[in-house]
Structure 1
């Protein structure tokens, strides 16, 4: 039966070649869309590494005030922490969770290993109380690090630990600076820290200790962002109270307040907009391809009415005719998919987009299933029409 199908396909090789090319194009479109779906789904399932609920971000603007900014900030943090409804306060750099700001560097080295571009964050001793990162080895920053000297304490995530230390225990290791005479002492490891978005990949991250009491690390004029964890259910009343307290303690500084959940939603919209647009374009192309396949099959049936009538006259059943047309389409689809798989296999071999090979394999499998389902649906109705052709009618028309 299969040999017979290949013979029929070869006898109509010109039209079937165009059909295979159309299926190959459809497969490639589905493959690209599947890569995006699988990679984003994989990233989405990774742990965020922190909690953003009930955390408010205060963007503080000191304006033209240059008098003892650090002292005012220390007093402000103390006043905010003493406010009823506030759980904890931390000062950090501008690359807060879900912001559009990043800070990365490739200066870290351990023995003969050099880190790629790694996300760097400034953190103080209270960040753990605000964002609830999960420490899996060692500890977070505390007062013991005040006497660290020139070997600065850092906390890293598990991805960075694997990249730099492999199977070695990361706590206690010393990183050197490839560009300057500087060293960092790893005191702890957290599970993860995906601050970009819900679909951000789980990449290496490193936290540098930077407190308001550390004059060697904080510039006098520098004003950090403040992240404040509040009690669940806190709303506009507490927000206004904190804003007024900021103005009164600092003698006129202003503050812009956002919740991390609001920032998360804004970043999600920003990420999803191009993905949705690309998905719509892919869907439009697939619909057009499906309509083209349906039209080609319909045309083939009209062109082969005499053949169908003769087969029915010689004893072929309607069910057999339907299976023959479906079988031809499945064989043509298989040939087109094999070409598409050969093309798609180049992506993991060339390391395109920097994704894991498993994502491409899953995308290939998903695309293969979808293209066979698509062609089966497109071939179903034409094959039924072919099965319903009566031999007397078709032979009389011919």
Structure 2
């Protein structure tokens, strides 16, 4: 049967080439959409490593003339925060706190291997606020800040890039290109997805807070809202002249960051859906016209004993074979992405995208071919041959 299908397709190679080209471009569009969807889903499936429920972020502008005065102001704020029984824990952080639009990076070196990492300056109470659990080692305390080495906690992704299979706890590394201050790893966390829910595994380093941090994170009891926000903001601003405070809920901040990822995906999906719909209409029209032109052939086959089912399977199978030729060309181009490591994604992401795109194309052409093929299968041979 396949040999017969190939002969029919070859005889109509000019008309079928347009259909193959449409299927080729449809595959590329679906490959891009599915690959992006698989990539983001795999990232989303990883544990977040932190908790955002009932976590608030206070952005404080102290208007401090120098770091010494700012440290004094920060102590005043800490004393003020202890007065609110609704606040379970709090900690100052650098401006690149989770789900903010700020970022701070530095380079870490171990045995001539240099790796870039996000660096977040936080206070010892930070894991209590964010619900962070350590996989190895411990978190730094105030006592660690006066030691010989600067204590840090790193993510497992950074640990694997710097140390491989070696134990990271106790390792001494250099921080920054010109900073020779020895830094000591004392803890490792498995995951820390602090930019959005679709962030891939990445490097992050937690270092003890210094003098300049003016972003405060707080964990509040469940059920509190605008009233407590107003009380805290008013209490802080009354501590100093011209101070300003803005408090945001971290869940809302995370939702805003997620929109930056989801909106382009949704727009791309709508555009691709529109293109695929137009391709489907084109395929349907071509198939319908082609089958109408072959009414005599259908009548002869029906007169020779071909069943309705055989006619239906024949035309759907012919369309599937044409689709296969278009897919072969499409897969050839798509397979170059994992081979050349384009965009530095895992090969499994591309391969899954290819597989889903292939399945989608076959489903699409089957749906488009079903109605015209069904119409062909119900033609009565006497009627068709009489018309001819």
Deviation per residue, 1:115-165 (Å, 9 max, x gap): 1x321111111101100111000001112302223x211100111111111
* Structure 2 counterpart of 1:298, from 278, 288, 292: 288
* Unmatched 5+ stretches in structure 2: none
C-alpha contact 1:133 1:191 (8 A) present in aligned 2: no
Within-5 A mapping of 1:132-211? 132-149=131-148, 151-177=149-175, 179-180=177-178, 181-210=180-209
Match of residue 356 from structure 1: 346
Superposition misfits of 4+ residues, deviation over 6 angstroms: none
Instruction: Supply the distance in 1 between the matched residues of 2:375 and 2:207 (Cα, whole angstroms).
Output: 70
User: How many residue pairs get matched?
Assistant: 386
* Structure 2 counterpart of 1:373, from 351, 363, 371: 363
TM-score by length of 2: 0.96
Per-residue deviation at 1:65? 5.9
Match of residue 34 from structure 1: 34
Within-5 A mapping of 1:1-398? 1-63=1-63, 68-105=69-106, 107-115=107-115, 117-149=116-148, 151-177=149-175, 179-180=177-178, 181-210=180-209, 217-218=210-211, 222-398=212-388
Per-residue deviation at 1:42? 0.6
C-alpha contact 1:81 1:89 (8 A) present in aligned 2: no
Secondary structure in structure 2 of the residue aligned to 1:68: helix
C-alpha contact 2:64 2:70 (8 A) present in aligned 1: no
Secondary structure in structure 1 of the residue aligned to 2:239: helix
Provide the alpha-carbon RMSD of the alignment: 1.5
C-alpha contact 2:58 2:247 (8 A) present in aligned 1: yes
Instruction: Supply the distance in 2 between the matched residues of 1:83 and 1:264 (Cα, whole angstroms).
Output: 25
Secondary structure in structure 2 of the residue aligned to 1:196: coil
Instruction: Supply the distance in 1 between the matched residues of 2:162 and 2:255 (Cα, whole angstroms).
Output: 33
Match of residue 214 from structure 1: none
* Unmatched 5+ stretches in structure 1: 211-216
TM-score by length of 1: 0.94
Shift in CA distance, 131/354, structure 1 to aligned 2, threshold 3 Å: same
Instruction: Supply the distance in 1 between the matched residues of 2:175 and 2:51 (Cα, whole angstroms).
Output: 31
